[in-house]
């Protein structure tokens, strides 16, 4: 019903979408890395972004939370413009870094190289932003962080510093950190690419659990098994454009674009 209403009003994006991206472009010098990308991620959906190296997946993810400012296009998170505000004439005005910082907390980001803060324990890493950015009550934030670490299977590691943890454990702490700010959407940039093969499973398992629990997620990955099983939608990018988007079954068994078939064949 609500979808129909939106159509009547003529408002573009699906109102059920948590994250809407329209016409995103980004160049580094002469290199056009994003060339008009559109995305819609519905509430509780998992979108997997695939594509060859250099196709702009990381840049797209970093433009979503404006770690990198896109050149044009818009990102809407639950209807709120990210990174800019419309002025009286309807022109986008870039927000200042401080205002942007407040918006960024609404994305929970998980990096390829974990990027845990080395001076803080596992628990410290998870509590840090809730307490010092969001100003939440310390006891409450601590209790929530303890629960998140337990959920990640790290109850006994909470007082360890990152240097004392394995790659898989570090990435699970990083996921707990990303959940602790109660974000609207989780962004994963190749979360298992820098892990030893035997540690990949434990991280994918946790992510699978999050997808099943109805978290809204955008996942850049080369793990086709994960994309096939956990994704609601697969988006294939090449040279800064979305080449194909489909449900995982269709994507892997009946790709429509030649470029997609070529990509999948090369993976074997």
Partner 1 sequence: MIDNFLIVLGEWPTIAWGFATTVWVSALSIALSLILSIALFVAIASGNRWLTIPLRAFVDLMRAIPFLMLVFLAYYCLPLAGVRLSSWTCGLVSLVAYNTAYFTEILRGAWAHMSAEQADAGRAFGYAGLRLYSRIILPQTLIASGPMLGNQAITLIKNSAFLMVITVHELTFAVNQIQSIYFTPLEALLVGVTLYWVLCLVVEAAVRRLDRIAAVRGSA
Ligand X SMILES: Nc1ncnc2c1ncn2[C@@H]1O[C@H](COP(=O)(O)OP(=O)(O)OP(=O)(O)O)[C@@H](O)[C@H]1O
CB of 139 to partner 1, least distance (A): 19
Q: How far is CA 6 from CA 2, 19, 38, 77, 168, in A?
A: 6, 16, 19, 17, 43
Residues in 88-117 that interact with partner 1 by CB under 8 A: 97-98, 100-102, 104-105, 107, 109, 111, 113-117
Establish how many alpha carbons lie within 13 A of residue 78's alpha carbon, considering only the half-sphere containing its beta carbon.
9
Asked if 136 is part of the footprint of partner 1 (rule: CB under 8 A), the reply reads no
Query: Which of residues 119, 139, 156, 265 is near partner 1 by CB under 8 A?
Result: 119
CB of 23 to partner 1, least distance (A): 23
CA 8/CA 257 separation, integer angstroms? 33
Q: How many CB atoms lie within 10 A of CB 188?
A: 27
Query: Which of residues 17, 46, 55, 192 is near ligand X by CB under 6 A?
Result: 55
Strand order in the sheet with 185-189: 107-110, 185-189, 217-220, 46-50, 233-238, 241-246
Query: Which of residues 21, 37, 57, 116 is near ligand X by CB under 6 A?
Result: 57
Query: Which of residues 85, 93, 132, 254 is near partner 1 by CB under 8 A?
Result: 132
Q: Residue 97 binds which entry of Mg ion, partner 1, ligand X, none, with Cβ cut-offs from 5 to 8 Å by kind?
A: partner 1
Q: How far is CA 213 from CA 21, 200, 206, in A?
A: 24, 20, 11
Strand order in the sheet with 17-28: 31-42, 17-28, 72-77, 80-81
Instruction: For residue 200, give the H/E element and its range.
Output: helix 197-212
Asked if 58 is part of the footprint of Mg ion (rule: CB under 5 A), the reply reads yes
Asked if 268 is part of the footprint of partner 1 (rule: CB under 8 A), the reply reads no
Question: Can you tell me whether residue 27 is helix, strand or coil?
Answer: strand
Asked if 24 is part of the footprint of ligand X (rule: CB under 6 A), the reply reads no
Interface ranges with Mg ion (CB under 5 A): 58
Interface ranges with ligand X (CB under 6 A): 28, 31, 33, 51, 53-59
Interface ranges with partner 1 (CB under 8 A): 65, 67, 97-98, 100-102, 104-105, 107, 109, 111, 113-120, 128-129, 132-134, 161-164, 170, 177, 181
């Amino acid at each position: 019903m609500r979808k129909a209403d939106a159509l009547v009003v003529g408002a573009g994006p699906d109102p059920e979408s948590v994250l809407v991206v329209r016409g995103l472009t980004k160049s580094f010098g002469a290199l056009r890395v994003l060339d008009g990308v559109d995305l819609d991620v519905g509430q509780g959906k998992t979108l997997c972004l695939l594509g060859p190296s250099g196709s702009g997946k990381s840049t797209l993810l970093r433009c979503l939370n404006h770690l990198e400012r896109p050149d044009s296009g818009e990102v809407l998170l639950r209807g709120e413009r990210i990174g800019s505000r419309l002025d009286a004439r309807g022109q986008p005005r870039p927000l200042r870094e401080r205002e942007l910082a407040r918006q960024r907390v609404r994305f929970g980001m998980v990096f390829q190289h974990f990027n845990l803060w080395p001076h803080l324990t596992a628990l410290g890493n998870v509590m840090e932003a809730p307490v010092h950015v969001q100003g939440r009550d310390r006891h409450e934030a601590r209790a929530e962080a303890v629960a998140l670490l337990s959920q990640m299977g790290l109850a006994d590691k909470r007082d360890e510093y990152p240097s004392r943890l394995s790659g898989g454990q570090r990435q699970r702490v990083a996921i707990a950190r990303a959940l602790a700010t109660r974000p609207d959407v989780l962004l994963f940039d190749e979360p298992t690419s820098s892990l030893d093969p035997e540690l990949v499973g434990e991280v994918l398992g946790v992510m699978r659990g999050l997808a099943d629990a109805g978290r809204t997620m955008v996942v850049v990955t080369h793990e086709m098994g994960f994309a096939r099983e956990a994704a609601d939608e697969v988006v294939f990018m090449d040279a800064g454009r979305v080449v194909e988007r489909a449900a995982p079954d269709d994507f892997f068994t009946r790709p429509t674009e030649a470029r997609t078939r070529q990509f999948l064949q090369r993976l074997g």
